[in-house]
Chain A
Amino acid sequence: ETGVTQTPRHLVMGMTNKKSLKCEQHLGHNAMYWYKQSAKKPLELMFVYNFKEQTENNSVPSRFSPECPNSSHLFLHLHTLQPEDSALYLCASSHLLAGKGGTDTQYFGPGTRLTVL
């Protein structure tokens, strides 16, 4: 398997369920990201992990809980979601640019299509 993979590809859950999204990158990168893509809206950055340390949380509700056990794996734990949370959830990874700041290009997985009933 190459690149960035995400599982499951599709998920339907009720508002009281607990589920987790998984992302794995096979590119040797050291930064990982969660984005949300809703219809008619730009991709929204949710979380950033830098060498397994969370460095950004863009005012995301606590019903979304990220976990990054190592630089290759990223999870998004979901609980008591709302119907408006239905969207495509995208994981991405990148290299950090040593000495320059910022990051090299980000590579995306195929996404998990989430529907909350």
Chain B
Amino acid sequence: QKEVEQDPGPLSVPEGAIVSLNCTYSNSAFQYFMWYRQYSRKGPELLMYTYSSGNKEDGRFTAQVDKSSKYISLFIRDSQPSDSATYLCAMSASTGGGADGLTFGKGTHLIIQP
């Protein structure tokens, strides 16, 4: 079983729709959860960062973490064509003082149709 599962898509929705992106994971030690957006030929750009369970909202974006189900989500409201990109979920565990590399999902390719 892979550590982080994410549907690669593509996911195509009309402009203005609410988009729901999800990841599941198996490692219960993960405590830090991130969503990155990656445009073609660019590096990943951090969108949302959450620690442990709960919701976090930033403009049109809402991140949800459910540690009991090992499930995280990113919601995009009023989607725009400029939101078309690959969305990567990432997570890490605390190591007691050291740096952690992130464990990523494969990324979901999102297309917003004008």
Contacts and interface: CB of A to CB of B under 8 A. Distances in A.
A5 B47 CA distance: 19
A45 B101 contact: yes
Given A31-B99, A33-B99, A42-B104, A100 B43 contact: no
Contacts of B94: 100-102
B31 A102 contact: yes
B42 interface: yes
B44 A90 contact: yes
Interface in B82-100: 88, 90, 92-100
A54 to B, nearest CB: 10
Contact of A56 (B6, B8, B93, B101): B101
A55 interface: yes
Given A41-B106, A101-B94, A102-B94, A55 B99 contact: yes
B102 interface: yes
Contacts of B18: none
B98 A55 contact: yes
Residues of A contacting B: mostly: strand
Contacts of B17: none
A102 B34 CA distance: 13
A102 B98 CA distance: 6
B4 A96 contact: no
20 contacts: A40-B106, A42-B104, A42-B105, A42-B107, A43-B44, A45-B101, A48-B100, A90-B44, A96-B99, A101-B94, A101-B95, A102-B32, A102-B93, A102-B94, A102-B100, A103-B99, A103-B100, A106-B90, A107-B46, A109-B43
